[in-house]
Amino acid sequence: MADLADGLGSGGGLCRRLTVLALVVGFAAMGASVWLSAQAAKQTQRNYQASRTKSQEASSIKKRLDKLASDNSSLKKKNSHLAKGNQALKQANQDLPAASAAAGLNVWETEEKSGKLQLKIDNQTGQAVSDLLVLAVAANGRITLNSLPSYFPVGGVKPRYFYRKKVAIGGTEGSLAGAYAGSDMVCLFADASGVYWFKGNRGQIEKIGSQAHFKKLLRQISLNKLEESPLPVKKMKTEKKKMSKKKRARRKARRKLNRAKREPQPAVGTPL
């Protein structure tokens, strides 16, 4: 019995030790689980921070790339404007001799007579010009090629004009019906090369271009069809053109008297 009791006592101690060991292992496993959870949370936080940093870096890179693209687009536009400006400057330099020659055509008013404005046209371009169109414009400022249609809107009053198909070198006179003294004069014409020009009321020269551009401008100012204006007839002096019958009779009598005076007369006292 004593041996049995000792065996049972020793068996109970073993159970207690096993229980304690199980508890220790359980606590250790729980601690390990907590530690692993904490490490996993830390790793998740690190991963989140890394992902956020990468996202911020990607966003920053994208912004820089977008800015570069915008700068490149702006630079392309500037280069395009510069190219157009250079082309326009090159074209202006090429047109300079012709524009200088075109500046030699001058038109001005001389007087207002019988409801018509008398014009003087002086062509010193060195060549005959064609399609000369002189317009009287009621304006207070500078009239340009672009602003001209605004003075003659479609459906409004048609412009008063003087038109000749050909104008030789030198002076020419003309008249413009319906215009009043003090009107601003502008003219359009083509040089010998067929290039059309506009001369404004301040003497500025602008290139119109081809005949198609000229006709388009005419449509814009309601002049679809041009009629050639007559040139004034030069009047002879009144003394030579009209002579009264009385004056002619007096001159005839005077000539007859002079002839009679020149004829020899018979001597006084000469026998017959």
CA gap 228, 151 in Å, rounded: 22
Q: What is the reported pLDDT for 120? A: 92
Q: What is the reported pLDDT for 244? A: 67
> What's the pLDDT tens digit per position in 89-146?
565 566 667 788 888 999 988 888 777 888 999 999 999 999 999 998 888 889 999 9
Pairing of strands 170-177, 184-190: unpaired
Is residue 199 scored above 80 in pLDDT? Answer: yes
> What's the pLDDT tens digit per position in 145-181?
999 999 888 777 778 899 999 999 999 999 887 666 5
218 confidence band (pLDDT: 50, 70, 90): very high
Residue 246's φ and ψ, nearest 5 degrees, are -65, -45
CA gap 114, 118 in Å, rounded: 10
Residue pointed to by tokens 């073993």: 14
CA gap 29, 11 in Å, rounded: 27
Identity (one letter) of the amino acid at 108?
Answer: W
CA gap 160, 175 in Å, rounded: 10
Tokens found for residue 119: 């014009």
Left, alpha or beta for 232 (phi > 0: left; psi -120 to 50: alpha)?
beta
CA gap 215, 209 in Å, rounded: 11
237 confidence band (pLDDT: 50, 70, 90): very low
Helix ranges restricted to H, the chain: 2-102, 148-151, 211-220, 238-241, 245-262
Buried b (16+ CB within 10 A) or exposed e, 4-34: eeeeeeeeeeeeeeeeeeeeeeeeeeeeeee
Residue pointed to by tokens 């096993």: 18
Q: What percent of the chain shows pLDDT beyond 70?
A: 79
272 confidence band (pLDDT: 50, 70, 90): very low
Rounded to the nearest integer, the mean pLDDT of the chain is 81
For the entire predicted model, the pTM comes to 0.56
Largest CA distance in the chain: 234
85 confidence band (pLDDT: 50, 70, 90): low
Identity (one letter) of the amino acid at 65?
Answer: L
Is residue 9 scored above 80 in pLDDT? Answer: no
Q: What is the reported pLDDT for 238? A: 47
Q: What residues does 207 pair with on adjacent strands? A: 197
Identity (one letter) of the amino acid at 135?
Answer: L
Report the range out of 90-94, 97-101, 241-245, 267-271 with the highest average pLDDT.
97-101
Q: What is the reported pLDDT for 38? A: 85
Tokens found for residue 185: 């004069």
Element (H, E) at 161: strand 161-167
Is residue 30 scored above 80 in pLDDT? Answer: yes
